[in-house]
Amino acid sequence: MKILVCISNVPDTTTKITFTNENKEFNASGVQFIVNPYDEIALSKAIDLCEGGKGTVTVINVGDSSTEPTIRKALAIGADDAVRIDSTPRDAYFTAFQIAEYAKQNDFNMILCGRESIDYNGAQVAAMIGEFLEIPSVSIIKKLDTDGTTTTIEREIEGGKEIVSLTGKFVASCAEGVAEAKIPNMRGIMSARTKPLAVVAAQEVKLLSKVISFETPTPRGTVKLIEAENAENLINLLHTEAKVI
């Protein structure tokens, strides 16, 4: 079994977000990047499925050379090898196209993504890969079991569960529950240094979107604390200031 896991290089969750170039670009200066947390779940599941020589796990990232520490982290967690499509991803269509083109040349049984990247939060790449490759795509999955031919996937839906059965190749975007995220150990970190990391040129593709501008949310207003015994004052403020009653 050959599994391709898509890895996004995202800012650490504690990053203070700022923009450059007239608010058209994210300011990456001084930012610590990490493996997208949902991709760690996808990767951990792939490693579990391939345990005991049952298969191999390749991680793929669309990004420039600055993403290599993140790719090495994925190798340290347990991927067998890695591919970096050398470019700056400008939108989800571009990213999915590059991954699909690579997958067309290299035969994978399944492609696992995270449910969304925690930076641009598009939740689009997995479905687009499915479209480009003309294979089924299942989004926001919670459980996956496979015997190598038939795969059973569980999704959470409003008020219940959806069980999906698939045969053949597919792409799925993984959410919490699919696997326990693995932490790299010292052996993994050492071996990651020498695991293969291929750098592949990006394919020509037209961009379908461009950023007009980014903006951060309006800061929240200050908090007014009202003594518990002063309910009358609270009602008055809700009526006259907040105008909600």
Ligand X SMILES: Cc1cc2nc3c(=O)[nH]c(=O)nc-3n(C[C@H](O)[C@H](O)[C@H](O)COP(=O)(O)OP(=O)(O)OC[C@H]3O[C@@H](n4cnc5c(N)ncnc54)[C@H](O)[C@@H]3O)c2cc1C
Smallest distance, ligand X to C-beta of residue 219, A: 24
If 0-12 CB within 10 Å is exposed, 13-18 middle and 19+ buried, where does residue 207 land?
Answer: exposed
Smallest distance, ligand X to C-beta of residue 237, A: 40
Smallest distance, ligand X to C-beta of residue 178, A: 12
Smallest distance, ligand X to C-beta of residue 80, A: 17
Give the residue nearest to ligand X (CB): 122
For ligand X, the closer of residues 176 and 234 by Cβ is 176
Maximum separation of any 2 CA atoms in the chain, in Å = 70
E-only strand ranges, the chain: 2-6, 9-11, 19-20, 25-26, 33-35, 56-63, 81-86, 110-114, 137-146, 150-157, 160-167, 170-174, 197-201
Tell me which residues touch ligand X (CB under 6 A): 6-8, 25, 36, 38-39, 60-63, 88-92, 95, 113-114, 116-117, 120-126, 209, 211
For ligand X, the closer of residues 124 and 146 by Cβ is 124
Q: Are 142 and 175 in contact (CB under 8 A)?
A: yes
For ligand X, the closer of residues 43 and 76 by Cβ is 43
- In single-letter form, the type of residue at position 208 comes to L
For ligand X, the closer of residues 23 and 234 by Cβ is 23
β-sheet bridge partners, residue 140: none
